[in-house]
Structure 1
Amino acid sequence: MTPAQPDAAATTATDVVDVLLYSDDVATREQVRRSVGRRAAADLPRIRWTETATHEAAVATAKQGGFALLVLDGEAARAGGMAVSRQLKNEMYKCPPVLVLTARPQDAWLATWAQVDAIVESPLDPMRIQQEVARLLRSGGAL
């Protein structure tokens, strides 16, 4: 786990942006990283991924700051991405935008409770993940 740099939320394509990726499933983390790639879009900065596999690590790492986006697995064991999102949105001043990966479209109501900025449902579509990451990085999380 590499800590984020405080100035990581850069806005030019020559800089790097830090994204936190939380899932207890290494295959899910790999799928997200491969779907998005090094850049979510040509006009966006290169992404530096920070991965966590536990609720505690996700919360502690996010609170260190410097992340432009949080990608959270809604199906993670013990504490899913919805619970992590709700906690961080309520505990962090200026919490970064949150993208949650969900198992069902019916989880959209729960996403509202969790204050997420976007959801991507299973099966995870690589293009959809990449588009949502790009949209959230461009907009700072505004829907």
Structure 2
Amino acid sequence: MSTQTTKILVFSHRPEVRETIVTAVGRRPAPDLGRVTYVEAGTVAEVLYEADQGGIDLAILDGEAQPTGGMGLSRQLKNEITDCPPIVVAVRRRDDRWLATWSQADAVIVHPLDPLAAAETVAEVLRSSAALPAVRG
């Protein structure tokens, strides 16, 4: 059992969407993972600041955020941030999952969020990213 704390960035321009994501994923998405702390961002500038600071283990981006959606932001981060953390995009329609491929997201969760599915998706992404050594420059 891990005692390490995982830092997750949650982005949406709507506080209630951020709250829904945090509640669905929970403080411990799986028994074999450490506890989770959240950093909430309501603007793209806040996301970019946090990404530049490093220390984010995973980002969950609202695909419906305005004026810049999480899918475009995911693609930007994946192309501009060295050692970009894994990204999960939250979409409103199951049919929009294909857009996550374009966005280079590591996984997708669909609203309304099922807490079991959301937590398991986040846990799977964290497990797969933990297998790769993180190098900070």
Q: What's the secondary structure of 2:52's corresponding residue? A: helix
The answer on 1:28 being equivalent to 2:17 is yes
Instruction: Provide the residue aligned with 2:50 in structure 1.
Output: 61
Alpha-carbon distance between aligned partners in 1 of 2:4 and 2:110, rounded to the nearest angstrom = 30
Instruction: Provide the residue aligned with 1:107 in structure 2.
Output: 96
TM-score between both structures, scaled by the size of structure 1: 0.86
Alpha-carbon distance between aligned partners in 1 of 2:8 and 2:81, rounded to the nearest angstrom = 16
Contact 1:71 1:98 in 2 (8 A): yes
Q: How does 1:1-80 map to 2 (within 5 A)?
A: 13-80=2-69
Q: CA RMSD in A?
A: 1.5
Contact 2:11 2:61 in 1 (8 A): yes
The answer on 1:129 being equivalent to 2:118 is yes
Q: CA deviation at 1:128?
A: 1.2
Q: What's the secondary structure of 1:119's corresponding residue? A: strand
TM-score between both structures, scaled by the size of structure 2: 0.89
**Gapped runs of 5+ residues in structure 1?**
1-11
Contact 1:74 1:102 in 2 (8 A): yes
The letter for the 1-side match of 2:106 is D
Q: How many residues are paired up?
A: 131
Alpha-carbon distance between aligned partners in 1 of 2:99 and 2:82, rounded to the nearest angstrom = 22
- Report percent identity of matched pairs: 45
Structure 1 runs (4+) greater than 3 angstroms displaced: none
**Gapped runs of 5+ residues in structure 2?**
132-137
